[in-house]
Structure 1
Amino acid sequence: MKILLTGATGQVGWELARTLLPLGEVIAVNRTQADLADLTSLIAVIQHHKPDVIVNPAAYTAVDKAETEQALAFLINAEAPGVLAEEAKKIGALLVHYSTDYVFDGTKSTPYTETDSPNPINTYGQSKLAGEQVIQSVAGDYLILRTSWVYAARGNNFLKTILRLAAEREELKIVVDQIGSPTWARLIAETTAHIVRQAMTERRDNSFNSSLYHLTSIGDTSWHSFAEKIVDIVHEQEKIALKIRAILPIPTSNYPLPAQRPANSRLATNRLEQQFGLTMPSWDNALRLCMQEAS
C-alpha cells in the first residue's frame, strides 16, 4: 500500500508519519513539497506518486487570522480538499480528511452527532465545512474525521502554552464557559491507522462505504479545567518547576478574539467506536500519557 501524507510536519501529520508506517510505504510531504495553496503543484504530486491512500491533515488553522484572510482559508480548507477528492477518485484512491468541531455553532446542550446540522460561526469553521461538502459532492471513496481541541507534546498548542506560562507567571486567567474534549494528536494518528487498515480491507471486499465520523477523546472539560489538569499532572510527575499559584476562571466575554468560538465543542464518538470496534480513551488519561513526553 502506498500512502501520501500531507502536512507531515504539523502536530497530527508528524504523528501520522509514524503510525501509518506499518501499513505500507508512507510518502510524507510538507508545505514546500505539496502546498495546498498551490493547486497545480498539488495535482502534480498526486499524479506523480499515484497513492492508494491520501491522508490530509494539512489545513489553514489560524482561526482568528482567517477572519481577514478568508480567500486563503477557503483555498486551503475547501478548494484544495476538493482537488484531493477529484484526484483520489481518478486514481481509485481512498481520501482521509480531517475536519473540526468548529463546523457547529455550539448552542446544543449535548454532544454533537454526525447527523446534526452544521452552522459555523467563524470563517475557519465555514471553510472547513465547505471542504467537507466538496469532498462529499465528488463522491469518491472518502473518510472525513472531525476532531477537536488538538494538542501534542510538540508544536504550538494549548498544552505547550500552559506549560510555558505556568513556569513564567504566578497567575493565569483562562476561559471557563467553552466546553470540549481535548484530543491528543497521537490518538488521532493511531486511530486513523486502525481505520485505514479496516477501510482498505472493506474496499477489497467491496463493502466499503464513505462516511463522516467524530474522532475525539471521551469526556469533556473547559479550557480552564484543562489548564488546571495540566498543572496538576506536572506536580504529580515532578519533572519541572512551576511558578503558577492561581488559575482564575473568566467568561469568553472577558477574552474577546476576532473569531467567535462555539461554547459547546463536544462531539459524540459512538458511530466511530461502533463501526471500527474502538473504545476511545478519556481525555485526562490521554493527556497524562502525552505529558510524560511534553514536560
Structure 2
Amino acid sequence: MRISVTGTTGRVGAALANHLAAKHEVIPLPRSRCDLADRKSLAAALEKLECDVLINPAGITSLEDCEDDPAMAMRVNAEAPAEIADWAQSRGVPVFHFSTDYVFNSDTPRLFNEDETPEPISVYGRSKLAGERKILARPGNCVIRVSWVYGPEKSSFVDRVFDDALAGRPIAAVADKFSLPVLTTDLAEWLDCLIDRKTTGIIHACNSGEPVSWHDMAIAVVEEMKSIGLLSAIPSVERQKLSEMASFRAARPRHSSLATHRLTEILGHPPRPWREALAEHVRQRSLLR
C-alpha cells in the first residue's frame, strides 16, 4: 500500500512514517515539500501525489503561536485539512487526520467519549475542532485525537525531566492539569490497525489508566530511573500550579482526558497502561545516554 504522511519532521509524523515503512511504501510530505501554511505549496504537492491512504499529523501545535496568529492557526489546522479532504474525496483516498484532547475542557475530573460535544477554550483548540469537522464532512475519513504525545523522535516534557534528574537539576511540574499521555511507538502500531480496518469517524488514542498530571508523570520518570539504577535516590519534584505558568498565555483545560472504549473494541484489548509505556521509554532513553 502507498501511504503518504504529512509533517514527517515532527514527532508524530516521523514516528508514523518510520513504523509504516516496514510494511508499506511511505511517501513523506515534510513541510519543505508540503507546507500547509502555503495554499500553493499544498496544492502542488497534492497534484502530483499518488497514494492509497493519506495521513495528516501536520499542524501548528503551539498554543501560544496560535493565540498570536489566529488566522495562521485556522489556515494550517482547518483550511488546509479541508483542502486535503476535498482532494482525497476526488481520488477516493481515505484521510487519517490527527487532532487533540484540547477540543475538550472540564473543571472536574472525567473522561471524554468520542461522541461528546467539544468546548475548546483556546485558538488552538478551536482551530483543531474546525479541522476535524472539515475532515469528517467527507465520508470515509478518520479523526484521531491524541494527548500529551512523547516518544524517541523528539525531546518532550518526559525527556526534559529525565535529563534534569540525571544532571541533578531542580525539577518542577504542573500538578493541577490532567489528561492521559501516549507513546508514539504505541500510537504507530494502533494506526496500522486502524488503516487495516478502514476505520472512519472519531477515535481517541492514548494509553490507558487513571488520568495524570505532568507532576505525576515526572514522579513516574524519576521512580523508573531509580528502579533501573540511573539514580541513587528519587529527587523531589516541585508542584506547580497552572495559574503560575507565566509562559502559558493561552488558556489550557484542567481536565481533558480521553476515553478509549472505541480503540479498545477495534484493537480487541485496551491500550497498555501509561505507566508501562513510560517505563519502556525511560529504559530506552537510558540505553542512548
TM-score by length of 2: 0.92
**Coordinate RMSD, CA, aligned:** 1.8
Match of 2:212 in 1: 221
User: In 2, distance between residues paired with 1:164 and 1:244?
Assistant: 14
Q: Which whole-Å deviations, capped at 9, do the CAs of 1:127-171 have from their partners, x for residues lacking one? A: 10010011122x132110001011112313111221233234543
User: In 2, distance between residues paired with 1:132 and 1:97?
Assistant: 8
Q: Which whole-Å deviations, capped at 9, do the CAs of 1:93-122 have from their partners, x for residues lacking one? A: 010001000001233532000111101111
Contact 2:104 2:118 in 1 (8 A): yes
Match of 1:167 in 2: 166
| % same residue | 33
Match of 1:266 in 2: 257
The one-letter amino acid paired with 2:173 is: I
**1:89-100 correspondence to structure 2 within 5 Å:** 89-100=89-100
Contact 2:3 2:25 in 1 (8 A): yes
Match of 2:127 in 1: 127
CA drift at 1:44: 2.2
User: In 2, distance between residues paired with 1:244 and 1:261?
Assistant: 29
Does 2:244 correspond to 1:292?
A: no
Contact 2:15 2:153 in 1 (8 A): no
Secondary structure at 1:49 match in 2: coil
Contact 1:167 1:243 in 2 (8 A): no
Match of 1:204 in 2: none
User: In 2, distance between residues paired with 1:102 and 1:93?
Assistant: 27
Secondary structure at 1:196 match in 2: helix
Contact 2:136 2:142 in 1 (8 A): no
User: In 1, distance between residues paired with 2:74 and 2:206?
Assistant: 24
Contact 1:113 1:267 in 2 (8 A): yes
Secondary structure at 2:143 match in 1: strand
User: In 2, distance between residues paired with 1:216 and 1:281?
Assistant: 9
**1:226-245 correspondence to structure 2 within 5 Å:** 226-239=217-230, 245=235
**Which runs of 5 or more structure 1 residues have no equivalent in the other structure?**
200-207
Does 2:55 correspond to 1:55?
A: yes
CA drift at 1:292: 2.2
Q: Which whole-Å deviations, capped at 9, do the CAs of 1:188-242 have from their partners, x for residues lacking one? A: 111101110121xxxxxxxx6x311101001121111100111111122234x58
**Which runs of 5 or more structure 2 residues have no equivalent in the other structure?**
none
Contact 1:154 1:294 in 2 (8 A): no
Secondary structure at 1:135 match in 2: helix
User: In 2, distance between residues paired with 1:181 and 1:235?
Assistant: 23
